[in-house]
Each structure stands twice: as structure tokens, then as C-alpha cells.
Amino acid sequence: MKISRQEVENIAHLARLEIDDQSKASLCEQLSGILDYMDKLAHVDVQNVKPVSGAAFMHNVLREDAPHPSPGPDVTLANAPKKDANYYLVPRVVK
């Protein structure tokens, strides 16, 4: 599938990217190549291929989630740059 220069410009506009003319020509070729390859993959015969869920079968290596008591505000706020009672003070970000 051939990607036109106009399509590359439209994609760049939607992605809010500024692309120079030399890069546009290069992107036309690259995107066309990618889409051609995807078209080839769409026609691959996978009739007798067993489906898998991933490249490697892994077991959950995470520990069990168990509740623990909170260490309390004295410990959690010990290194806070600014605090007020049991709360962190942070710079205001919304006016």
C-alpha cells in the first residue's frame, strides 16, 4: 500500500509533529514498507499453528498481597519538605 505525501502530512498534523520535506519523503517510503509487510502477514497461512498467549510461559513471581499496618504519620512524613499536621504540603498547581 502506497502512502502519499498528503497522508503523511495529515498524520503529522494529527500527531502535532512538524516534519521537514526531506523527512516526509522518507516517511512515505517507510510507512508504505510497513503497510506492505503487514499485508503480507495478513495472508500467511496459520491454519495448523497452535495459538499461544505469549512468547514465554511465566508464572506469577509476585508475592502474595497481604495487609500490613500503616507506619503512621510520624514515619511517613519524617522526610517531607513541608507538612501541616498529618498532611503533605505541596505547591498549588491549579488556580
**How distant, in Å, are the alpha carbons of 31, 69, 73, 83 from that of 86?**
55, 17, 6, 7
The CA distance from 44 to 17, in Å, is 34
Q: What is 5-42's CATH number?
A: 1.10.20
> What averages of pLDDT result for each successive group of 10 residues across the chain (95 residues)?
92 93 92 94 89 68 87 91 91 89
What's this model's pTM, rounded to 2 decimal places?
0.49
pLDDT number for residue 26: 93
Domain ranges within the chain, ordered by starting residue: 5-42
Please say whether the beta carbons of 2 and 33 come within 8 A: no
Q: Helices then strands (H, E): number in the chain?
A: 3, 2
The CA distance from 12 to 24, in Å, is 9
pLDDT number for residue 50: 83
